[in-house]
Amino acid sequence: MIIFNLVGIIMMIIGFTISFGIGAILGTDAEGPLMMILGPILIAMDVTDRLRSKGGHLYIPSRGGSLFFLPVWAFGVLWFVLGIYDTVQGGS
């Protein structure tokens, strides 16, 4: 059983690459800010892909990027919220 799709993996790779690149430019490698950058990037990529594709649907994982049967945009929301929490709490 496959628990992800190629689109989801590619979105994650691109998102992490952009996030770490922006973090390097800003001079930070702290988890909170990087997650706050990654979240909106993933949300934007996945929602854009789902709305542009003919069979796209916001909630059905197989109609866009997905990992562990969850849409990639859901991971983006989760990481953004956790990034805010980590930054406010003064995490690593």
Report how far residue 92's alpha carbon sits from residue 86's, in angstroms, rounded to the nearest whole number: 8
Asked if the structure places residue 10 within a domain, the reply is yes
Asked if the structure places residue 63 within a domain, the reply is yes
Q: For residue range 2-26, what is the model confidence (pLDDT) as tens digits? A: 677 898 999 999 999 999 999 999 9
Asked if the structure places residue 17 within a domain, the reply is yes
What residue has token string 């562990």? 68
Asked if the structure places residue 43 within a domain, the reply is yes
Asked if the structure places residue 66 within a domain, the reply is yes
The boundaries of the domain holding residue 46 are 6-88
Encode the chain in three state secondary structure: CCCECHHHHHHHHHHHHHHHHHHHHHCCCCHHHHHHHHHHHHHHHHHHHHHHCCCCCCCCHHHCCEECCEEHHHHHHHHHHHHHHHHHCCCC
Asked if the structure places residue 52 within a domain, the reply is yes
pLDDT for the residue numbered 2: 67
Number of domains, the chain? 1
pLDDT for the residue numbered 70: 87
pLDDT for the residue numbered 53: 80
Q: For residue range 55-64, what is the model confidence (pLDDT) as tens digits? A: 777 877 777 8
Query: In the chain, pLDDT over 70 holds for what percent of residues?
Result: 95
Asked if the structure places residue 1 within a domain, the reply is no
Asked if the structure places residue 40 within a domain, the reply is yes
Q: Enter the pTM of the model.
A: 0.86
Q: What angle do CA 7, 11, 12 make, to 5 degrees?
A: 120
